[in-house]
Amino acid sequence: METQTIQIKNTTILADEVKKGSVLIEDDKIVDITRSNSSNGADEIINGEGKFLIPGLVNTHTHLSMSLMRGLADDLPLDVWLNDHIWPVEAHLEGEHCYAGALLSALEMIKSGTTTCNDMYFFMDDVARAIDKAGMRGLLCHGMIDLFDGEKRKAEYKETLRIIEKCHNTADGRIQVALGPHTPYTCSTELLNWVRKKADEKGLRIHIHVSETEKEVEDSLNDRLKRPFEYLEDIKFLGPDVTAAHSVWLSGAEISLIKDNNVKLSHNPLSNMKLASGISPVSDLLANDVCVSLGTDGAASNNNLDLFQEMKTSSLLQKVRKLDPTVLPAGKVLEMATINGATALGMEKEIGTIEVGKKADMVLVDMKAPHLTPYRNPVSHLVYSAEGADVNTVICNGQILMREREVLVMDEVEVMELAENAAEDLLSRI
């Protein structure tokens, strides 16, 4: 096959430092970063004048197909939200619903600069189909819930193995599969032990929710006489291949366990605030060299997938938690959304920074806007002033997914119509 080249010229690049210049892409990789802006005969030339070139954002905790439930049950505590509203709807889900919801979420993520997501849900082969069509990168897992029932457990094993067999390392390597035990309180010890064994056997990552609410910690102490992370350590579940979502209610001892086991965390500030779950001690975790990344959670509890909102919120939330404006500065937050996200998914050698040899996953943000003027500190502007709608051009794996705000990989109107119809069909079944 003939090599395809793209040159992004005259732009401000977030690389090892912020600098003006151009980037050359060959097929799916970055092959040159230079201060020179002279044309080199690339097949495609993108003018980056007035724009900031950053790594594609990495959303480390999503439930993509839940976009169909956006606005369905708001202003409720987590257990009521889940038990009385979300789970009854999910009981009627089918593969086509999950495809439509995931495609809608992929469209939303592309338009707001996210190129990689870490998704846990159901009918994950249909989610994989949507991610493939969108040209994005995804680490996908079937959400395993056995509720301590032996028959249910066997069914979860079977579905997980089916998804691994069908989807792992597909779409030119853009789609990988992980193991997805839902939480320590919806999964038996037997299921968690099986997950740990399979992860070791097959070299797969693990994605799990841990310590999202105070009630979860209290229940764990009552049932097991241990906090959630202590219990997981006790059964030898923790390790560097585990990405734990939320991790809001942590003791000092648990922070040490997370650090010692090199567990990666996904911080979801907006979902945690909306469900009043609490504030994760992110600044303490980072001070202990824990890898903390950013996630949105699902659009039913956020209610969007815009990582720019998560960046600003996570910084401000830590400042007000510590009453210290120096905590979690803009540069650190941007790392959480890029290289920390890549590290949390085991992809730090491939994505997360703009450097020669890495995959061409990158985003041009248009800085010519009233709310980004005067243009004097791009990193600060990106975290504290920019919005997802400022994203101008998105490239993933060397493919242009959106150019000058026009999505090239799917028809926006068709996707929204498909999702609207799928949501209507789903809700009509209840």
Annotated binding-site positions for Zn(2+): 61, 63, 209, 297
| Contact between residue 10 and residue 48 where contact means Cβ atoms under 8 Å apart | yes
What sign has the CA pseudo-torsion 389, 391, 392, 396? negative
Q: Say if residue 374 is preceded by a cis peptide, omega within 30 of 0.
A: yes
Q: Please report, in range form, the residues annotated as the binding site for substrate.
A: 90, 182, 212, 297
Q: Can you tell me the distance from the alpha carbon of 411 to that of 415, in angstroms, rounded to the nearest whole number?
A: 6
Query: Each residue of 288-324: b (16+ CB within 10 Å) or e?
Result: eebbbbbbbbbbbbbbbbbbbbbbbbbbbbbbebeee
Binding-site residues: 61, 63, 90, 182, 209, 212, 297
Q: How far apart are CA 380 and CA 54, in angstroms?
A: 13
Asked if omega into 340 is within 30° of 0 (cis), the reply is no
Q: At what angle do helices 330-337 and 307-322 cross, to 10 degrees?
A: 130
- CA of 129: how far to CAs of 89, 410, 424, 427, in Å? 22, 13, 21, 23
Q: List the beta bridge partners of residue 355.
A: none
